[in-house]
Amino acid sequence: MDLFLAVGTVNYVYKFVVAIGLTPAIYLGRYLIDRYLGDELSQALVERAARDA
Protein backbone atom coordinates (compact mmCIF):
# COMPACT_ATOMS: atom_id res chain seq x y z
CA MET A 1 0.00 0.00 0.00
CA ASP A 2 2.88 2.37 0.72
CA LEU A 3 4.29 1.84 -2.77
CA PHE A 4 0.87 2.53 -4.28
CA LEU A 5 0.59 5.86 -2.45
CA ALA A 6 4.18 6.81 -3.28
CA VAL A 7 3.77 6.12 -7.01
CA GLY A 8 0.37 7.82 -7.09
CA THR A 9 1.76 10.93 -5.40
CA VAL A 10 4.75 11.13 -7.73
CA ASN A 11 2.52 10.73 -10.79
CA TYR A 12 0.11 13.40 -9.56
CA VAL A 13 2.92 15.87 -8.86
CA TYR A 14 4.52 15.10 -12.24
CA LYS A 15 1.27 15.76 -14.12
CA PHE A 16 0.72 18.96 -12.17
CA VAL A 17 4.22 20.26 -12.94
CA VAL A 18 3.90 19.37 -16.63
CA ALA A 19 0.52 21.12 -16.87
CA ILE A 20 1.87 24.25 -15.20
CA GLY A 21 4.92 24.18 -17.47
CA LEU A 22 3.01 23.64 -20.71
CA THR A 23 0.37 26.31 -20.15
CA PRO A 24 2.71 29.24 -20.94
CA ALA A 25 4.09 27.32 -23.92
CA ILE A 26 0.58 26.89 -25.32
CA TYR A 27 -0.18 30.58 -24.91
CA LEU A 28 3.15 31.50 -26.50
CA GLY A 29 2.43 29.22 -29.45
CA ARG A 30 -0.98 30.77 -29.95
CA TYR A 31 0.51 34.27 -29.81
CA LEU A 32 3.15 33.38 -32.38
CA ILE A 33 0.62 31.79 -34.73
CA ASP A 34 -1.71 34.79 -34.44
CA ARG A 35 1.20 37.14 -35.12
CA TYR A 36 2.31 35.09 -38.13
CA LEU A 37 -1.17 34.93 -39.67
CA GLY A 38 -2.10 38.53 -38.96
CA ASP A 39 -5.16 39.89 -37.19
CA GLU A 40 -7.63 39.59 -40.06
CA LEU A 41 -6.88 36.00 -41.08
CA SER A 42 -6.53 34.88 -37.48
CA GLN A 43 -9.96 36.31 -36.55
CA ALA A 44 -11.53 34.79 -39.67
CA LEU A 45 -10.20 31.35 -38.76
CA VAL A 46 -11.46 31.67 -35.18
CA GLU A 47 -14.94 32.60 -36.42
CA ARG A 48 -14.92 29.76 -38.95
CA ALA A 49 -13.91 27.24 -36.29
CA ALA A 50 -16.66 28.50 -33.96
CA ARG A 51 -19.23 28.25 -36.73
CA ASP A 52 -18.19 24.73 -37.73
CA ALA A 53 -18.14 23.39 -34.16
Domains of the chain: which residue ranges? 2-52
CA distance to 25, 29, 47, 51, per residue, from 33 (Å): 12, 6, 16, 20
- The per-residue pLDDT for 28 is 97
Q: Residue 51: pLDDT band by 50, 70, 90 thresholds?
A: very high
Quick: pLDDT tens for 22-47: 999 999 999 999 999 999 999 999 99
| Residue 53 reports pLDDT greater than 90 | no
pTM of the model: 0.66
